[in-house]
A and B are shown apart, each in its own frame.
Chain A
Amino acid sequence: MTVQFNRRDSLKSLAALGAAGTLGGWASLAQAQKPITVGVIYVGPRDDYGYNQAQAEAAAMLKKMPGVKVVEEENVPETAAVQKSMTGMIAQDGASLVFPTSFGYFDPHMLAVAAKYPDARFAHCGGMWTEGKHPKNTASYFGYIDECQYLNGVIAAYATKSNKIGFIAAKPIPQVLRNINAFTMGARSVKPGITCSVIFTGDWSMPVKEAEATNSMADQGIDVFTMHVDGPKVIVETAAKRGKFVCGYHASQAKLAPQAYLTGAEWNWLTAYTGFIEAARSGKPHPNFVRGGLKEGFVKMSAYGPAVTDPAKKAADAIKAQMMAGKFDIFKGPLKDNKGAVVVAAGKSFKQTDIELEKMNYLVEGVLGSF
């Protein structure tokens, strides 16, 4: 079963939860009032200006909803510890819905706990829930943040003077490759001569290597940066110190470098969270496979920084409007990888929802780097 939340439904549920006091007579609302305890588990610190902060910001908003109790745990490694955190939330705190938010929590940890607690619901960030393979009380949610990275690329293209932009990435896995490709294609849609250099640091949180990569790229004349690492803080600060521009990722890092920050790709997990909570409270089946992009409100762009010019804003906003209307496909043929091989044939176009895109294993033309 594939369930896509549409924007209207999410807005409706938000409105319903928000306006609970005034609209007491609504039937679905009476069900929505059933109190629920929700557990959220983070792999890193909640205030990392990145991946975990994006999740924690949504959890903080959940806390304000009537009848929702949130229990949280941060810095939980992807070991037996997370299994214990999940079972603890269920057995000790009475949670009936758990959000294990790190990719590595899915297999084997969440699956092991889900088998032991068939009545509890689990919603995992980033995984690939598969019908018939994974239990019905588990789910995976994720957002098409490559749309935001594409828009980052458009803004970056207007900001770069050297026509060299840079991407600092953790690991060459499909989710990351998709972002690198989208960023590069966004930039090259404006100026086809732009190249995007990529450096893989090897792991999700490597502050020293991230700073070294930023400095070495700055030395090579790269003047706009973006990234896909858990905590972009170091890259944003280093790039700003070197007088370069930066597009953020995961959460807004504008506060760290107000002048250098152009815009950023942000998660909006509240949409996904409320969908799962809504279903759990009203006793509806657990939505097992949940995805969405800008249109569905799963991701959003940071506000433009002071350095973004009007033509840049206009160009990005035009593409964003197309994305919001569901009329924009990023990955369409003819598309070559950076070794010259055709990866998407002419005439072929992938919708964002296509599972094929979640198996990406190439870097597109214009990316300097390999894995």
Chain B
Amino acid sequence: MRSTLEDILLPVAAVLAALLLFGLFVLLGGLNPLDVWLLLFKGAFGDSYSWQNTLQRAAPLMLTALCVAIPARAGLVVIGGEGALVLGGLATAAMAQALSSSLALSSPLTGSILVCGAAAVAGALWVMLAGWLRQYRGINETISSLLLAYVAIGLFKHLVEGPLRDPSSLNKPSTHALSEGLRIGGMAGTDVHWGLAIGVLACLAAEFWLRLTPSGFAVRVVRGNTRAAQLVGLPASRLVLLACALGGAAAGVAGGVEVAAVHNSANAALIAGYGYAGILVAFMARHSPLAVIPVAILFGGFGAAGSLLQRRLGMPDASVLVLQGMAFVLILASEALRGRRWPGWRPTSAPAAAPLAQGQP
């Protein structure tokens, strides 16, 4: 009970502290913090338009955050989600092209599942490659996944500007546009596309898997102590590869949804840094897939509010990044307070000042 309360209270307090600090920051810049706070709220969560704005920005972040969070639960620090995302987008465009030429499309839903499936497979294989290099070749997965992301972007650009290019895309090299039936639209009359639903479902499924299934539990054991996991007969390497594949699949789908719902074709605009933003989201969510959902919405809100701040107060684009950075640092720093005894928490315990003064309890 206490730890659940702490799980919620600590990050909320950290975000509030970041907002206070940001108010001080804008005060130094000569703006009224009250105006800024009001606009931040209005831009992110003020009305239905703002909510749609926030949720749409959050959708890809949920999936790319899973690409960090799931491998992290197996003890890996994978930061190359961007690579899985761009290859997922490319696979979607390529699959769409294959489908339109074969005309074997029975229904739009099957088509959407096929193109997203292609994206998931591409992303999964790419991150699995980093996992394989770690398990069988002893290469640090943080470095390899990051560098593989650059390889993926190079591959993406080569194919989009070369073999897969639509010759009519003159000044913005792109693949052929997806046919109408394969595009993913908005949910129930809103601007928010189905990527959000996919993201939320993926987060819930990942949480369920890690928490309630034997294989999910086994993955967590591998993280806790790989040697012990092997001694009790768990296939550690295969579990690591599985975690990588699931994470990569999530990022791949993020790219696929971006292509099918936003861009209509694969082109360089897909490389917008969602994979890297996902790293922040996952770390802020402490690699809990469930917590990824609210954190991604918070980040989406930062983006939406930053847009309004620029337009209303003429603040530079970087200002909302400052707020984001403050929130990130404070949330990570608040971890140091976890498990502390607070004054008045347990009236029967020793005087509160003593353990606080000694540092770690």
Interface 0/1 of A46-84, CB less than 8 Å to B: 000000000000000000000000011111111111011
B311 A108 Cβ-Cβ under 8 A: no
Looking at the complex, which of B25-33, B104-112, B302-310 is the stretch in contact with chain A?
Answer: B302-310
Q: Which of B262, B273, B308, B310 contacts A108 (CB 8 A)?
A: B262
A126 CB to nearest chain B CB (Å):
7
A95 CB to nearest chain B CB (Å):
9
Q: With A81-B57, A81-B303 in contact, is A74–B317 under 8 Å at CB?
A: yes
Interface 0/1 of B27-62, CB less than 8 Å to A: 000000000000000000000010001001100000
Q: Which of A78, A92, A174, A358 contacts B269 (CB 8 A)?
A: A78
CA distance A112 to B263 in the complex (A): 10
Q: Taking the complex as formed, is B82 at the interface, i.e. its CB lies under 8 A from any CB of chain A? A: no
Interface 0/1 of B298-337, CB less than 8 Å to A: 0000011001101110101100000000000000000000
Q: Taking the complex as formed, is A246 at the interface, i.e. its CB lies under 8 A from any CB of chain B? A: no
Which B residues are in CB contact (< 8 Å) with A84? Answer: 53, 56-57, 304, 307
Q: Taking the complex as formed, is B288 at the interface, i.e. its CB lies under 8 A from any CB of chain A? A: no
Which B residues are in CB contact (< 8 Å) with A203? Answer: 268
A88 to chain B: closest residue by CB: B307
Which A residues are in CB contact (< 8 Å) with B314? Answer: 72
Q: Taking the complex as formed, is A104 at the interface, i.e. its CB lies under 8 A from any CB of chain B? A: yes
Q: With A79-B269, A79-B272, A108-B262 in contact, is A74–B56 under 8 Å at CB?
A: no
B49 A92 Cβ-Cβ under 8 A: yes
B166 CB to nearest chain A CB (Å):
11
Q: With A80-B262, A88-B53, A108-B263 in contact, is A71–B173 under 8 Å at CB?
A: no
Q: Taking the complex as formed, is A138 at the interface, i.e. its CB lies under 8 A from any CB of chain B? A: no
Which B residues are in CB contact (< 8 Å) with A103? Answer: 171-172
* In the complex, number of A-B residue pairs with CB atoms less than 8 Å apart: 83
Q: Which of B171, B172, B173, B310 contacts A74 (CB 8 A)?
A: B310
A176 to chain B: closest residue by CB: B171
Q: Which of B258, B269, B304 has the most C-beta atoms of chain A within 10 angstroms of its own C-beta?
A: B269
A173 B171 Cβ-Cβ under 8 A: yes
A91 B49 Cβ-Cβ under 8 A: yes
Which A residues are in CB contact (< 8 Å) with B308? Answer: 88, 92
Which B residues are in CB contact (< 8 Å) with A171? Answer: 161, 173
A92 B272 Cβ-Cβ under 8 A: no
B88 CB to nearest chain A CB (Å):
15
Which A residues are in CB contact (< 8 Å) with B262? Answer: 79-80, 83, 108
Q: Taking the complex as formed, is A251 at the interface, i.e. its CB lies under 8 A from any CB of chain B? A: no
Q: Which of A71, A126, A358 contacts B311 (CB 8 A)?
A: A71
B169 to chain A: closest residue by CB: A107
A88 B311 Cβ-Cβ under 8 A: yes
Q: Taking the complex as formed, is A338 at the interface, i.e. its CB lies under 8 A from any CB of chain B? A: no
Which B residues are in CB contact (< 8 Å) with A348? Answer: none
B321 to chain A: closest residue by CB: A75
Q: Taking the complex as formed, is A212 at the interface, i.e. its CB lies under 8 A from any CB of chain B? A: no
CA distance A77 to B307 in the complex (A): 12
Q: Taking the complex as formed, is B64 at the interface, i.e. its CB lies under 8 A from any CB of chain A? A: no
A282 CB to nearest chain B CB (Å):
26
CA distance A358 to B170 in the complex (A): 9
A111 to chain B: closest residue by CB: B264
Q: Taking the complex as formed, is B176 at the interface, i.e. its CB lies under 8 A from any CB of chain A? A: no
A106 to chain B: closest residue by CB: B172
Within 8 A of B (CB), among A120-152: 126, 128
Binding site for B on A (CB under 8 A): 39, 45, 71-81, 83-85, 87-89, 91-93, 103-104, 106-108, 126, 128, 171, 173-175, 202-203, 358-359
Other A-B pairs beyond A72-B311, A74-B310, A78-B272, 13, CB < 8 Å: A71-B311, A79-B258, A81-B307, A83-B262, A84-B307, A88-B49, A92-B308, A104-B268, A104-B269, A108-B262, A126-B171, A128-B170, A174-B171
Q: Which 7 A-B pairs have the closest CB atoms?
A: A78-B269, A75-B317, A71-B311, A77-B272, A173-B171, A73-B310, A79-B272
Binding site for A on B (CB under 8 A): 49, 53, 56-57, 157, 161, 170-173, 191, 258, 262-264, 267-270, 272-273, 303-304, 307-308, 310-312, 314, 316-317
Q: List 8 A-B contacts (CB under 8 A).
A: A72-B311, A84-B304, A88-B49, A88-B307, A88-B308, A93-B312, A108-B264, A175-B171
